[in-house]
A and B are shown apart, each in its own frame.
Chain A
């Protein structure tokens, strides 16, 4: 009997058992980051517990330690997690090191098709190797970097007049990154309602992935490419192209002229705090924060607006965030874990997921005629998801990420060397990593 047949039989047995009243109630543990969407998932999962009879436990780790903690767990073959909502860049390592269960046969048996999900999320969260129909996760949470701005400040007549006089255009949503920098500079150090405010909160964090997740939003739009599209792992002239150098210089300039003092190590949490406390006019952040912004008494209820990452000279792209949900291969409760994924993939559950604040990646949800107007940020989410690019998802992604964190932070925040030197150094380090990996 082949493996495919066995999986089909097992899946058939699952269907026969039905989601309600499963014969063997299991205690399933789902591992994810500790953030607002995780709380929504706890709420959502009550329905699964009710219908399946399984008990759900959750292991949530704050973002700065999430990768450390969970990759340690996976690398040590730990059985803490039955289900893992791992970061998109882990997919290569998860697949090649055998941490995740391959889901193709399960999807086929259950009638789950990746055509039902936003293509970018399938590529970003599920496929390995990229572009091949090998699936290791179900897209669970669509996310992308976008911008939030203080609409109420932008609408102040005196500021509009001053801005128009200075820049010759209206103070509004920026169409380009250059315009965004002008706006950040315009607000920098300005007195508004008796407080000193600043331009933009951008990602600058050094320890985990912060500055990389920020700078790529500029680099992509200035012409940075991870590799030669025709020759994999050929980096020279792509990572450190003329456009990429300009983009990096732009990010440093934005940091120097338009960000709050002391924002040298900021990521998601710090940016949210700065924005909600009225310190900044703009913030760069993943879309997951938008429901929280809308609900905030200081900046919600129409005071904030949202826009996708503005275009640069080489196009308009945005850094992909988000995650897929995988079954951990070391789990002894894989059948129950697969049941959870089957339940989670249902359109009505995905619709409820969106209602609770989770960004569904299911087309049936996001392409619903009422979706774009269902929340003030829904259209921006859709527009942003259409322009995503992601970091390397290679098994060596952590090596690649750390090298980039170091080089970019050293230039942008510490001011050491030039942008060209930083990107040349990055090419050198990435080349060594790929050589060590036997890829070149």
Chain B
């Protein structure tokens, strides 16, 4: 059995350190240094994960400590995967995830492209644009409920101004067709600046010399954009997509504040549904199985994506 990383760490330990701690081998010293991290990792991540997997095969309920816990095998998994309601929340989550990412990447990149140009007031506008992401999601959810109010909401008035419709004639958060878009709009407003900052970092990392060489070759601006800017900023864009994807998969606070998951279950995302099962219905075993399914889904998708990201970076 080899311990390549440990050997590497041991070799990297400066000789004077090893000499000072007499009686301990370099490998032991390395273990002493990494042991707290490994312990924390096991206690905080690995043990709860294993415990959750174990609970997912039982009918355990945390609010019934006196009830016998039965081993139910795969019954929880079967119930979840054949539940139409859960597939509906998966669809709602997919809708939310895809549209927020698409809109945030397009708008965020466009803003970054503009901010990257030198103009008067550049710093001020950057600060103004990033303000929404500094707010608490609960606060954002709360004030968007006011913006969406049919009688007093600014959003309805703006739409009414441009379309001539009566502001009270539509309800963004009360209508089955509009509510999924209401949460997409609020999330896009809040998190586009984050994508913009990542894109801005990507754009600023492109050396000017490449554009100068392209100018010498008489490449048009359009050609420069598609053959220099986009390919070189792509790893950053993909990173932004990864961050937003992970964040929005577990979206909870903003949506709960905005719609409470309604109307009906229209905006009940998986994280909201999982929370209800675990901490309102107290079906601990069932919700553990639910969490395991979500974990495997996210882990699988993220692994594929990270591989793709690494390939792009290697190009």
Name A's B-contacting residues (CB within 8 A).
67-68, 71-72, 75, 93, 97-98, 196, 205-207, 260-265, 279, 395, 398-399, 402, 406, 409-411, 413-416, 436
9 A-B residue pairings within 8 Å (CB atoms): A75-B282, A97-B66, A98-B66, A206-B259, A261-B169, A261-B171, A264-B263, A406-B264, A416-B176
Q: How far is the CB of B60 from chain A (nearest CB, A)?
A: 12
Q: How far is the CB of A74 from chain B (nearest CB, A)?
A: 8
Q: What would 16 more interface pairs be, CB under 8 Å, given A261-B170, A265-B260? A: A97-B65, A98-B66, A205-B260, A206-B263, A262-B150, A264-B171, A264-B174, A395-B64, A398-B280, A398-B282, A406-B264, A410-B264, A411-B264, A413-B264, A414-B262, A416-B176
Report yes or no: A265 in contact with B66, Cβ–Cβ below 8 A.
Answer: no
Q: Which residue of A lies closest to B258 (CB)?
A: A265
Is B200 on the interface with A (CB-CB < 8 A)? no
Q: How far is the CB of A280 from chain B (nearest CB, A)?
A: 11
CB-defined contacts of B169 to chain A, threshold 8 Å: 261
**Binary contact readout B124-156 vs A (1 if CB under 8 angstroms, 0 otherwise):** 000000000000000000000000111101000
Q: How far is the CA of A436 from the CA of B61 in the complex (A)?
A: 11
Within 8 A of A (CB), among B162-212: 168-171, 173-176
Report yes or no: B262 in contact with A262, Cβ–Cβ below 8 A.
Answer: no
Is B224 on the interface with A (CB-CB < 8 A)? no
Report yes or no: B64 in contact with A413, Cβ–Cβ below 8 A.
Answer: no
> Which of B174, B276, B281, B283 has the largest number of chain A CB atoms within 10 A?
B174
Report yes or no: A75 in contact with B261, Cβ–Cβ below 8 A.
Answer: no
Report yes or no: A262 in contact with B149, Cβ–Cβ below 8 A.
Answer: yes
Q: A206-B262, A402-B280, A409-B262 are in contact. Are A263 and B174 (CB under 8 A)?
A: yes
Q: How far is the CB of B76 from chain A (nearest CB, A)?
A: 12
Report yes or no: B260 in contact with A196, Cβ–Cβ below 8 A.
Answer: no
**Binary contact readout B71-106 vs A (1 if CB under 8 angstroms, 0 otherwise):** 000000000000001000000000000000000000
Q: How far is the CA of A181 from the CA of B52 in the complex (A)?
A: 50
List the count of A-B residue pairs having beta carbons below 8 Å apart. Answer: 94
* Pick from A68, A75, A279: contact of B62, CB under 8 Å: A75
Q: How far is the CA of A261 from the CA of B261 in the complex (A)?
A: 18
Report yes or no: A262 in contact with B66, Cβ–Cβ below 8 A.
Answer: no
Is B116 on the interface with A (CB-CB < 8 A)? no
Interface size of B by Cβ–Cβ distance < 8 Å?
A: 35
Q: How far is the CA of A415 from the CA of B265 in the complex (A)?
A: 11
CB-defined contacts of B263 to chain A, threshold 8 Å: 206, 264-265, 409-410, 413-414
Report yes or no: A261 in contact with B280, Cβ–Cβ below 8 A.
Answer: no
Q: Which residue of B lies closest to A432 (CB)?
A: B79
CB-defined contacts of A414 to chain B, threshold 8 Å: 176, 262-266
> Which of A263, A265, A406, A409 has the largest number of chain B CB atoms within 10 A?
A265
Q: How far is the CB of A126 from chain B (nearest CB, A)?
A: 21
Q: A402-B280, A409-B262 are in contact. Are A264 and B63 (CB under 8 A)?
A: no
Q: How far is the CA of A350 from the CA of B150 in the complex (A)?
A: 44
Q: Which residue of A lies closest to B166 (CB)?
A: A261
CB-defined contacts of B259 to chain A, threshold 8 Å: 206, 265
Report yes or no: A413 in contact with B174, Cβ–Cβ below 8 A.
Answer: yes
CB-defined contacts of A98 to chain B, threshold 8 Å: 66
Q: How far is the CA of A67 from the CA of B65 in the complex (A)?
A: 19
* Pick from A196, A205, A207, A265: contact of B173, CB under 8 Å: A265
Q: How far is the CA of A399 from the CA of B171 in the complex (A)?
A: 30
Q: Which residue of A lies closest to B148 (CB)?
A: A262
Is B256 on the interface with A (CB-CB < 8 A)? yes
CB-defined contacts of A207 to chain B, threshold 8 Å: 256, 260-262
Report yes or no: B281 in contact with A196, Cβ–Cβ below 8 A.
Answer: no
Q: How far is the CA of A406 from the CA of B175 in the complex (A)?
A: 16
Q: How far is the CA of A93 from the CA of B280 in the complex (A)?
A: 13
Q: How far is the CA of A395 from the CA of B281 in the complex (A)?
A: 11
> Which of A207, A260, A415 has the largest number of chain B CB atoms within 10 A?
A207
Report yes or no: B173 in contact with A97, Cβ–Cβ below 8 A.
Answer: no
Q: A97-B66, A398-B282 are in contact. Are A262 and B265 (CB under 8 A)?
A: no
Which 4 residue pairs across A and B have the least CB separation, nearest first? A414-B264, A264-B174, A207-B260, A410-B264
Report yes or no: A261 in contact with B168, Cβ–Cβ below 8 A.
Answer: yes
CB-defined contacts of B31 to chain A, threshold 8 Å: none
Report yes or no: B280 in contact with A68, Cβ–Cβ below 8 A.
Answer: yes
Q: How far is the CA of A333 from the CA of B163 in the complex (A)?
A: 64
CB-defined contacts of B66 to chain A, threshold 8 Å: 97-98
* Pick from B64, B149, B265, B266: contact of A97, CB under 8 Å: B64
Is B243 on the interface with A (CB-CB < 8 A)? no
Q: Which residue of B lies closest to A71 (CB)?
A: B63
CB-defined contacts of A262 to chain B, threshold 8 Å: 148-151, 153, 168, 171, 173-174
Report yes or no: B262 in contact with A413, Cβ–Cβ below 8 A.
Answer: yes
Q: How far is the CB of B269 from chain A (nearest CB, A)?
A: 13
Q: Which residue of B lies closest to A75 (CB)?
A: B63
Is B279 on the interface with A (CB-CB < 8 A)? yes
CB-defined contacts of B85 to chain A, threshold 8 Å: 406
Q: How far is the CA of A148 from the CA of B255 in the complex (A)?
A: 31
> Which of A207, A261, A399 has the largest number of chain B CB atoms within 10 A?
A261
Q: How far is the CA of A206 from the CA of B262 in the complex (A)?
A: 6
Q: How far is the CA of A402 from the CA of B281 in the complex (A)?
A: 7
